[in-house]
């Protein structure tokens, strides 16, 4: 049964109080009813799909309809896994390892649901969820049509997908994702100090998962304790010429090759600007990872947004690079 409530607090890992005028929870069996509702009472209203709210910053209450999935399908066929959008990514990873299906371990402890992961193309330690996605099943909310997308239609890139294009925003709800994993475990240890932590010699998928969890716990604040949305900014990709110019000025600057240029870690630039650990009222730049903004308690969306603007201006002035938020402002 569709569950509809009004004036409902919206879950978000920034722990910012915000209410939805209408909050709707639906499962697989409610899709017809959901479509009828959206075409009737929901006609013309703004729609926001949320997972765990781990990538959202609320500047005010949401006057439209918030949709929250409870689609929890789970089926395995060979190396393929079809999983409902409501699954929490980290719980899914735990389950895949128990089934002897490998590939996702580097994404351990990333907050969020499978549905959000497929929209956002979550990534960490050299792995992106798009590497494994073979199909995404999505509901077109205005018509009730279910469509199966192939990876080539989804235009995945670094934290990018078809679903994030402005004209698609609010148009689709991901129902399930089909992933192709591997029965043979191949460790990927080239990023973020994983190899140093695990040492030489053979490692198991579970050891990789545990190492990733330990590194994340060291650097990233626990949203249960300190509200945050993980990386607040996307790492900017600059032209090779711009990267060369910066390298001459800052020989110690870390860089990564990217699809269409050179990726520069925003956290490094923010730290260089002296913002790491600094606060602006109840909002602060995390003291162990400058890419993360935190709610020190009682912050509003505006407080976080003000800090974000100050940090962006500092980076722009010092490096001539624009860092853009990864988090969605609402």
Per rule CB under 6 A, is residue 49 in the interface with ligand EPU? no
CB atoms under 10 Å from CB of 100, counted, come to 12
The answer to whether residues 108 and 91 touch, using CB atoms and an 8 Å cutoff, is: no
- CB nearer to ligand EPU: pick between 65 and 263: 263
Interface characters, 187-206, with ligand EPU (x: CB under 6 A): ----xx--------------
Q: Is 231 a catalytic residue?
A: yes
Q: Which stretch binds ligand EPU (CB under 6 A): 25-33, 200-208, 264-272, 311-319?
A: 264-272
Q: Is 159 a catalytic residue?
A: yes
Q: How far is the CB of 191 from ligand EPU (least distance, A)?
A: 5
**Closest to 195 (Cα-Cα) out of 210, 206, 208:** 208
Please pick, from the candidates 291, 293, 311, 330, the single residue that binds ligand EPU as defined by CB under 6 A: 291
- CB nearer to ligand EPU: pick between 65 and 124: 124
Q: Which stretch binds ligand EPU (CB under 6 A): 142-150, 227-235, 300-308, 312-320?
A: 227-235
Q: Which stretch binds ligand EPU (CB under 6 A): 143-151, 238-246, 267-275, 300-308?
A: 267-275
Please pick, from the candidates 267, 284, 301, 308, the single residue that binds ligand EPU as defined by CB under 6 A: 267
Q: Is the dihedral of CA 79, 82, 87, 89 positive or negative?
A: positive
Q: 3-class DSSP state for residue 155?
A: coil
- Geometric angle at alpha carbon 132, from 137 and 90, rounded to 5°: 85
Q: Which positions ≥6 away from 155 have C-beta within 8 Å? A: 161, 162
Sheet holding 47-50, edge to edge: 3-9, 19-26, 62-69, 47-50
Residues with catalytic function: 159, 231, 326
């Amino acid at each position: 049964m569709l569950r509809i409530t009004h004036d409902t607090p919206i879950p978000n890992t920034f722990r910012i109080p915000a209410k939805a005028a209408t909050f709707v929870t639906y499962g697989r069996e409610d899709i017809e009813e959901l479509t009828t509702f959206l075409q009737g009472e929901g006609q013309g209203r703004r729609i926001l799909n949320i997972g765990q709210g781990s990538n959202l910053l609320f500047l005010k209450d949401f006057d439209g309809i918030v949709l929250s999935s409870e689609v929890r399908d789970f089926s395995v066929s060979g190396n393929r896994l079809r999983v409902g959008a409501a699954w929490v990514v980290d719980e899914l990873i735990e389950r895949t390892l128990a089934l002897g299906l490998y590939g996702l371990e580097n994404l351990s402890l990333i907050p969020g649901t499978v549905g959000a992961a497929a929209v956002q193309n979550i990534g960490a330690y050299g792995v992106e969820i798009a590497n494994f996605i073979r199909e995404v099943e999505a509901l077109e909310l205005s018509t009730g049509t279910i469509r199966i997308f192939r990876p080539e239609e989804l235009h995945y890139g670094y934290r990018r997908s078809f679903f994030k294009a402005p004209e698609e925003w609010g148009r689709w709800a991901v129902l399930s994702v089909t992933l192709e994993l591997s029965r043979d475990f191949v460790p990927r240890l080239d990023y973020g100090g994983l190899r140093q932590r695990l040492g030489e010699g053979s490692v198991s998928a579970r050891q990789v998962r545990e190492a990733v969890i330990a590194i994340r716990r060291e650097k990233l604040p626990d949203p249960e304790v300190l509200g945050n949305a993980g990386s607040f900014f996307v790492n900017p990709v600059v032209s090779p010429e711009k990267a060369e110019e910066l390298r001459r000025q800052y020989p110690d600057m870390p860089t990564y090759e990217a699809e269409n240029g050179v990726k520069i870690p925003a956290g490094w630039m923010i730290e260089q600007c002296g913002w790491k650990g600094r606060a602006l009222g109840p909002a602060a730049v995390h003291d162990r990872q400058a890419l993360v903004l935190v709610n020190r308690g009682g912050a509003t969306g505006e407080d976080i947004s003000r800090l974000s603007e100050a940090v962006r201006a500092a980076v722009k002035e010092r490096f001539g690079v624009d860092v853009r938020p990864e988090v969605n402002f609402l």
